[in-house]
């Protein structure tokens, strides 16, 4: 299963590296979102710095939607789904591989967005061990949930509009928990917020969705 | 393509079967059991409305306190509906009890659940505006209800995607179970979020301590009425779902026959 996962993740990441969709389109989009937030919230009033954690995770969510759709589009080509099914790869491995590839792309984007926060919003990246742990746990959950809902919505003509409706309410706990944990690390949370509980919630979310995806991906692949 | 043509027939075909009177009970129309359930639901709803309107207006909330007769009942029924959806989805996924009937029950229950959740939010807002001064507060329970509404709207959207019945059933059942898994996560996230930042805004409005007996009676009757209404709607919606599937299948068979005939004449 793990070998298959590494194979699938390697394949997806190679496709992304060669097609350059992630670097040429998704990454500029992410930075553009940061700029749009600055237009919407007056940047001189300190609002951006205070809201940086939340804006960061909203931007990550939007990018996750794009990354998941991209991961599904790669498999939507003529006969690709059949080829994947006939390849003899473990469906659980395929799920873990696709989720892993999305997670790697999101982590790279998060580093980029983090730099954007420092440069554009004047955020001081204090408490980075907590930030890194938050990013890791939240990204794992986002990638797993995204890949699972992406598979649920795939194969329909309305998948571009269906995926956000399915995914966004489901990942609401990730947005809340990751934002609060990041605020605690950055010291912008106002009150004393313990990041430990939020990290635990992110961890539980990731475990639930990784487990659900590992079990459910097989039946989902058979149907199409 | 055939699916599209057959769904367009639905509107015409379904009422025709129901109105003909020749169809057997429980298929074209409801049976005597369904009828008595419907009568009980209408009676209980009527009694709830009557009792709610005769409640005295309270000092703080004025006329709006009457909403206690329907609002908690609606919320309760929406939870029942979501629970039934989860149960029916699990029964579909369980190989020994797999039957398209469970899929129809899950879909029907989710539809009614969405309507009841929306009504819960609407009645809550109508009460909140004069009492709290705002239509909406970011209270844990309100936020959770709104998220639940969004989750099940997504579930219903997924059900509408054209697909063979068993494919649709599998996807929907998985989504419904995932939605149930998300509810406790949402609950913790939203509760910690709101309690860490501000105290429970509803705590001082908690009606438990000095609630009048008449209000409790109206509220309990509301629970009963909404549960009966839910059950009645569910029975009928499942029946319509079955008819929809039948019409779709008949349309498919007819379309195939027409194509065959074209091939023969050509």
The pLDDT tens digits of the residues spanning B5-60 come to 333 333 333 333 333 333 444 455 678 888 889 999 999 999 988 888 887 777 66
Q: Which of A147, A157, A169, A212 to mutate to test the interface with B (most CBs of B within 10 A)?
A: A169
B1 touches chain A (CB under 8 A): no
What's the rounded Cα separation, in Å, for the pair A180 and A211? Answer: 25
- Residue B266 is predicted with a pLDDT of 62
CB contact under 8 A, B192 and A172: no
**CA distances (Å), A89 to each of A70, A93, A94, A220, A221, in order?**
21, 7, 7, 14, 11
Contact present, B69 and B52 (Cβ < 8 Å): yes
What's the rounded Cα separation, in Å, for the pair B164 and B162? Answer: 7
**C-alpha count within 13 angstroms, C-beta hemisphere, residue A67:** 34
What's the rounded Cα separation, in Å, for the pair B157 and B144? Answer: 20
CB contact under 8 A, A169 and B170: no
State the smallest CA–CA distance between residue B54 and chain A in angstroms: 40
CB contact under 8 A, B182 and A173: yes
CB contact under 8 A, A219 and B182: no
Local structure of B62: helix, strand or coil: strand
- Residue A141 is predicted with a pLDDT of 94
Mean pLDDT computed over every residue of chain A: 86
Q: Which of B196, B197, B198, B199 to mutate to test the interface with A (most CBs of A within 10 A)?
A: B196
Question: Domain extents for chain A?
Answer: 2-223
B193 touches chain A (CB under 8 A): yes
Say which of A166, A201, A216 has its CB closest to residue B188.
Answer: A201
Mean pLDDT computed over every residue of chain B: 80
**Assembly ipTM:** 0.86
Judge whether residue B168 has pLDDT over 50. yes
Lowest mean pLDDT among A24-33, B95-104, B187-196: B187-196
**CA distances (Å), A6 to each of A99, A120, A146, A159, A216, in order?**
11, 36, 18, 27, 19
- Residue B138 is predicted with a pLDDT of 83
pLDDT tens for residues B190-223? 877 776 544 444 444 455 445 667 778 888 888 9
Q: Most confidently modeled of A11-25, B12-26, B224-238?
A: B224-238
Judge whether residue B182 has pLDDT over 70. yes
- Residue A75 is predicted with a pLDDT of 79
Record the pTM. 0.83
Q: Which of B146, B176, B189, B194 to mutate to test the interface with A (most CBs of A within 10 A)?
A: B189
- Residue B214 is predicted with a pLDDT of 76
Say which of B157, B166, B185 has its CB closest to residue A173.
Answer: B185
> Which chain B residues touch A162 with a CB distance below 8 Å?
154, 157-158, 161
State in words which class domain B33-200+211-260 has: mainly alpha
Question: Domain extents for chain B?
Answer: 33-200+211-260
State the smallest CA–CA distance between residue A18 and chain B in angstroms: 33
DSSP state letters, A140-187: HHHHHHHHHHHHHHTTSTTHHHHHHHHHHHHTHHHHHHHHHHHHHHHT
């Amino acid at each position: 299963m793990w070998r298959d996962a590494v194979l699938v993740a390697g394949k997806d990441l190679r496709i992304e590296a060669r097609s350059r969709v992630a670097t040429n389109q998704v990454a500029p989009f992410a930075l553009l979102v940061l700029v749009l937030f600055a237009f919407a919230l007056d940047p001189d009033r300190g609002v951006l710095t205070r809201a940086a954690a939340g804006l960061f995770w909203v931007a990550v969510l939007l990018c996750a939607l794009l990354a998941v759709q991209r991961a599904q589009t790669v498999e939507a080509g003529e006969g690709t789904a059949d080829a994947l099914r006939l390849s003899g790869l473990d469906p659980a491995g395929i799920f873990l591989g696709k989720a892993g590839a999305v997670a790697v792309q999101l982590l790279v984007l998060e580093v980029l967005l983090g730099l954007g926060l420092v440069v554009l919003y004047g955020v001081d990246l204090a408490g980075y061990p907590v930030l890194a742990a938050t990013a890791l746990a939240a990204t794992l959950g986002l990638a797993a949930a995204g890949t699972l809902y992406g598979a649920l919505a795939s194969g329909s003509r309305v998948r571009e509009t269906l995926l956000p409706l399915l995914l966004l309410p489901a990942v609401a706990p990730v947005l809340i928990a990751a934002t609060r944990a990041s605020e605690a690390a950055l010291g912008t949370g106002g009150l004393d917020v313990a990041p430990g509980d939020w990290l635990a919630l992110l961890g539980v979310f990731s475990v639930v969705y990784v487990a659900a995806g590992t079990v459910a991906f097989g039946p989902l692949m058979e149907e199409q | 393509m055939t699916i599209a043509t057959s769904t367009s027939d639905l509107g015409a075909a379904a009422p025709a079967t129901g109105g003909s009177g020749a169809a057997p009970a429980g298929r074209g129309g409801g049976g005597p059991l369904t009828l008595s359930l419907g009568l009980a639901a209408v009676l209980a709803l009527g009694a709830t409305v009557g009792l709610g309107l005769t409640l005295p207006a309270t000092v703080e909330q004025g006329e709006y306190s009457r909403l206690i007769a329907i609002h908690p009942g609606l919320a309760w029924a929406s939870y029942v509906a979501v629970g039934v959806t989860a149960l029916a989805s699990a029964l579909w996924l369980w190989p020994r009890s797999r039957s398209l009937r469970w899929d129809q029950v899950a879909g029907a229950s989710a539809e009614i659940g969405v309507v009841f959740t929306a009504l819960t939010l609407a009645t809550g807002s109508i009460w909140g505006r004069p009492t709290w001064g705002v239509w909406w507060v970011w209270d844990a329970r309100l936020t959770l209800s709104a998220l639940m509404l969004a989750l099940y709207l997504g579930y219903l959207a997924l059900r509408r995607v054209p697909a063979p019945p068993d494919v649709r059933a599998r996807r929907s059942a998985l989504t419904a179970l995932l939605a149930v898994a998300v509810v406790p996560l949402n609950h913790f996230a939203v509760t910690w979020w709101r309690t860490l930042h501000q105290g429970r805004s509803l705590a001082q409005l908690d009606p438990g301590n000095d609630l009048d007996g008449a209000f409790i009676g109206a509220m309990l009757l509301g629970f009963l009425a909404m549960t009966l209404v839910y059950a009645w709607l569910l029975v009928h919606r499942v029946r319509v779902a079955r008819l929809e599937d039948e019409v779709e299948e008949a349309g498919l068979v007819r379309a195939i026959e027409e194509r065959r005939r074209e091939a023969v004449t050509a």
